[in-house]
């Protein structure tokens, strides 16, 4: 009997891949990967709804929790961990919870995904509550840990969504306010959902957090203006953004950043309006943190 989980089906296009040359293997995998963006595009409306829900959650002081097992859990933790340096947010704002805990990030914790109680315990420990947003990630759509996490989120009044690459069963769908089901088809190696399903999942999660952060005013045009200058590369990027937006020298950019307590966004408002840091912060707060609502100037054109 054929497994109902599409991620467990055999791929007829790669049935003889064990006889392929290195060049042929690369071509086969690349051809399968090329199918992923179109599959993600079929869920555009659902992804946009999740972006809106994440924005509403953040504006109301809630948090986003990614919950998954194995590759799905690792991808959630990865996306969450990139939000603070990229968008200057508190690490509590977007969190990743993986079945099996920290150890599961680097070594498989077999069986952790099959324990619903583990999800209840982990979300309780994280303090998930009403006003939060729980996104369960399950490539197969059937992970018990993820279903239990969604049910727990629903029970405490959190919003919920599921990201899957095979249609989830009714019980999982019933626990999700939004279902993002990106059907990527059978994998190159049967059941290896770290491949197409993993790629699709990463695209979806990137879009949800990036979209929500853009809506919160974390960019000016497509410039990253709430980044944390935690290393030399990011310090240089901060200075380059100020030079491009404000037309100042490198030395002036450094002075602006110092006066703005290293906030690129605040430095831009200070320079454009000729105000001090406190006034820049006040005006940004009045307009939801969105630079375009505070200053009239358009972002500089893209240079080609």
Closest CA to 128 of 92, 168, 165: 92
Kindly list the distances between the CA atom of residue 142 and the CA atoms of 76, 170, 171, 195, 264, in Å, as whole numbers in the listed order. 17, 10, 9, 18, 44
Which residues are catalytically annotated?
Answer: 82, 113
Closest CA to 161 of 46, 270, 37: 46
Q: Is 82 helix (H, G, I), strand (E, B) or coil?
A: helix
**CB atoms closer than 10 angstroms to residue 194:** 17
Calculate ∠ Cα 183-153-172, nearest 5°.
Answer: 35
Residues 263 and 274: their CA atoms lie apart, in Å, by 16
Q: Tokens for 132?
A: 């939060």
Closest CA to 291 of 220, 214, 213, 210: 220
Closest CA to 90 of 218, 238, 211: 218
């Amino acid at each position: 009997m054929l497994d109902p989980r599409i991620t467990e089906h055999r791929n007829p296009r790669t049935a003889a891949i064990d006889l392929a040359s290195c060049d042929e293997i690369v071509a086969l995998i690349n051809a399968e990967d090329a199918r992923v963006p179109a599959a993600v595009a079929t869920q555009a409306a659902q992804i946009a709804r999740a972006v809106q829900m994440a924005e509403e959650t953040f504006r109301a002081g809630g948090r986003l929790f990614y919950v998954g097992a194995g590759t799905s859990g690792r991808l959630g933790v990865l996306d969450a961990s990139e939000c603070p340096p990229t968008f200057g947010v508190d690490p509590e704002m977007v969190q990743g919870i993986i079945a099996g805990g920290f150890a599961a990030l680097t070594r498989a914790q077999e069986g952790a995904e099959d324990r619903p109680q583990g999800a209840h315990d982990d979300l309780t420990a994280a303090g998930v509550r009403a006003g939060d947003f729980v996104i369960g990630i399950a490539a197969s759509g059937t992970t018990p840990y993820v279903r239990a996490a969604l049910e727990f989120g629903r029970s405490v009044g959190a919003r919920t969504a599921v990201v899957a690459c095979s249609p989830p069963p009714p019980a999982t769908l019933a626990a999700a306010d939004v279902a993002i089901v990106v059907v990527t088809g059978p994998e190159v190696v049967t059941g290896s959902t770290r491949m197409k399903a993993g790629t699709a999942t990463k695209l979806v999660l990137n879009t949800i957090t990036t979209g929500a952060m853009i809506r919160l005013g974390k960019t000016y045009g497509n410039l990253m203006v709430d980044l944390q200058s935690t290393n030399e590369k990011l310090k240089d990027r901060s200075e380059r953004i100020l030079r491009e937006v404000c037309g100042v020298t490198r030395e002036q950019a450094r002075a602006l950043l110092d006066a703005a307590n290293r906030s690129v966004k605040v430095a831009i408002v200070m320079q454009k309006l000729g105000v001090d840091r406190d006034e820049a912060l006040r005006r940004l707060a009045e307009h939801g943190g969105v630079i375009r609502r505070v200053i009239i100037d358009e972002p500089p054109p893209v240079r080609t």
